[in-house]
């Protein structure tokens, strides 16, 4: 239970710093980051260097991602733009690259310590996202669910 709350908190931090304003442009967070931040945090820090997106989305992955969200993320993150402990997920896939999202989910401690965009989220949310020990496969399912939540087909 504590791990779930921690993961949700971390994702909330990620999402709230990435969103919550009416400006949905991909560069909306660049103004808050140092000049070197966009290149450093475009894909984040971690194992995930490349993600192949599904077009169309795979319903089985979306369902698995939603189940993981319900279990580990929903306490801190809402599917709209409402901020709870962490930011809402609406529009996240339009503001962040898929690699960055997956690295934040799977490598949260290093991201919060070294990634400028993640640090900006932490500064905004004031709560560290906990490490939920999400596997890369589960993080990919969560990502698929995030794309479905944003209305992608």
The one-character DSSP state at 19 is -
* Residue 133 covered by a domain: yes
pLDDT of res. 41: 66
Say whether pTM exceeds 0.85.
no
Q: How many domains does the chain have?
A: 1
pLDDT of res. 71: 96
**Backbone angle region of 74, left / alpha / beta, with phi > 0 → left and psi within -120 to 50 → alpha:** alpha
* Residue 100 covered by a domain: yes
Domain that holds residue 120: 2-16+55-149
* Residue 8 covered by a domain: yes
* Residue 24 covered by a domain: no
Express the helix, strand and coil content of the chain in percent, nearest 5 each.
55, 0, 45
Pick out the chain residues at pLDDT < 70. 1-41
* Residue 91 covered by a domain: yes
pLDDT of res. 74: 94
pLDDT of res. 105: 96
In whole angstroms, what is the distance from residue 29 CA to residue 9 CA? Answer: 20
* Residue 39 covered by a domain: no
* CATH number of the domain residue 145 falls in: 1.10.760.10
In whole angstroms, what is the distance from residue 128 CA to residue 11 CA? Answer: 9
* Residue 69 covered by a domain: yes
């Amino acid at each position: 239970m504590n791990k779930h709350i921690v993961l949700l908190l971390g994702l909330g931090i990620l999402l709230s710093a990435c969103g919550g304003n009416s400006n949905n442009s991909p560069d909306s967070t660049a103004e808050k980051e140092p000049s070197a931040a966009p290149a450093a945090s475009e894909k984040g820090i971690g194992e995930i260097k490349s993600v192949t997106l599904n077009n169309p989305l795979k319903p089985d992955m979306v369902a698995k991602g939603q189940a993981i969200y319900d279990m580990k993320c929903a306490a801190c993150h809402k599917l709209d733009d409402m901020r709870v402990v962490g930011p809402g997920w609406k529009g996240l896939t339009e503001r962040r690259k898929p690699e960055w999202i997956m690295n934040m989910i799977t490598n949260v401690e290093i991201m919060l310590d070294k990634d400028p965009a993640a640090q900006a989220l932490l500064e905004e949310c004031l709560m560290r996202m906990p490490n939920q020990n999400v596997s890369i496969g589960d993080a990919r399912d969560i990502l698929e669910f995030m794309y479905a939540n944003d209305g992608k087909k």
